[in-house]
Structure 1
Amino acid sequence: MSQPTEEQVEKYDRLVPMLTAAHKEMSELSKKKQDGIVNTLKIRNINRLLDELLTVLGDDPSRGFLEKLDEETLPQNSDVVLLLSQWQAALQQFKKRHTDSDLGSYSSRWITVENPKQ
C-alpha cells in the first residue's frame, strides 16, 4: 500500500464533504421512505463522485469492499445509505492510515509521496 500523492489529498479534501452531504441527504430520504427507489439522476451523480473517490483510494485494501450504485436495479434509499456509510468508513480509515500527529502544532498532517514521514 503506497502513500497518497498531494493530488489525492486535495481530491480527498474536496470530495469527502460532498460524500458527507450525499449521505446526509439520502439518510433524510430514507427516514421518510426507506423502500423508496432512487432515481437515475441521483445514482449517476453519486457514482460520478464515487468514481473520483476511487482514484483517491488508489491501491488501498478497502477498495475491494466498496461498490458503486447499480443504475440497472435502481436501489432503495436505505441501500444507498448503507453503501455510502461503507464509503465514509473506508475514507476515514484511509485518512487515519495516512496522517500523523504534528507535535509542534497539536494537529495532524497527511503523509504523502511528496511530504513523507520524517
Structure 2
Amino acid sequence: MESREEVEALEKLIGQLEGLHSEISQLAKKSPNDGLNKFKLKLVNKVIADGNALLQGGYRPFDDFELFEEDDLPTNSDVTMIISQYIEQSERFRSDNVLYDRSRYWYSINGAISDIPAKTPTKVGGEKK
C-alpha cells in the first residue's frame, strides 16, 4: 500500500463487503433466485467499483467482471457469491500488506512498517519480514 488513505479505504471496503454479505446472504437463504432490487444493487455496485479500484496487481477476483447490470437484476445468490470473492481477495490484499514488529502487526506503507495497527493476517504471505 502506498498511503494511510489507501489503508483507510481498504478497511472501509472490508467493512462494507462484510456488511453487504451478511445482509444479502440472509436474503439468499430465504429467496436465492429472487432478483436484488435496484436500490441495493446500486449500493453493491458502488462497493464493487471501490474494490476494483483498490484491488490492483492480481487481487481483483475476476479480471473481466466490472459491475452487475442494472437492466438484468442479479439474483441474491449471484450477488452473495461475488461479494464472497471480493471479501477473500480484500483479505488477501490486507494480509499481504501487514508486517510483524514489536509483538504486534502493523500495516505496511511503501514496504515499511507504519504506525497503523492491523489485525493478524489470515492468508498465506501476510507475515513479511
| Cα-Cα RMSD | 1.9
Is contact 1:60–1:94 with CA below 8 Å preserved after alignment?
no
**Where does 1:32-51 land on structure 2 (aligned, <5 Å)?**
32-51=30-49
Task: State the 4+ residue runs in structure 1 displaced beyond 4 angstroms.
Answer: none
Give the match for residue 109 of structure 1: 106
Q: When the two structures are aligned, how many residues end up with a matched partner? A: 112
TM-score, structure 1 length as denominator? Answer: 0.84
- Which of 9-18 and 79-88 deviates more? 9-18
TM-score, structure 2 length as denominator? Answer: 0.77
User: How much has 1:19 moved relative to structure 2?
Assistant: 1.2
Q: Percent identity?
A: 25
Q: Which runs of 5+ in 2 are unaligned?
A: 114-128
Is contact 1:98–1:110 with CA below 8 Å preserved after alignment?
yes
Return the structure number with greater helix share: 1
User: How much has 1:53 moved relative to structure 2?
Assistant: 2.3
Is contact 1:8–1:55 with CA below 8 Å preserved after alignment?
no
Return the structure number with greater strand share: 2
Q: Which runs of 5+ in 1 are unaligned?
A: none
Structure 1 SS opposite 2:105: strand
Structure 1 SS opposite 2:69: coil
Instruction: Kindly indicate whether structure 1 or structure 2 has the higher relative contact order, using CA contacts under 8 Å at least 6 residues apart.
Output: 1
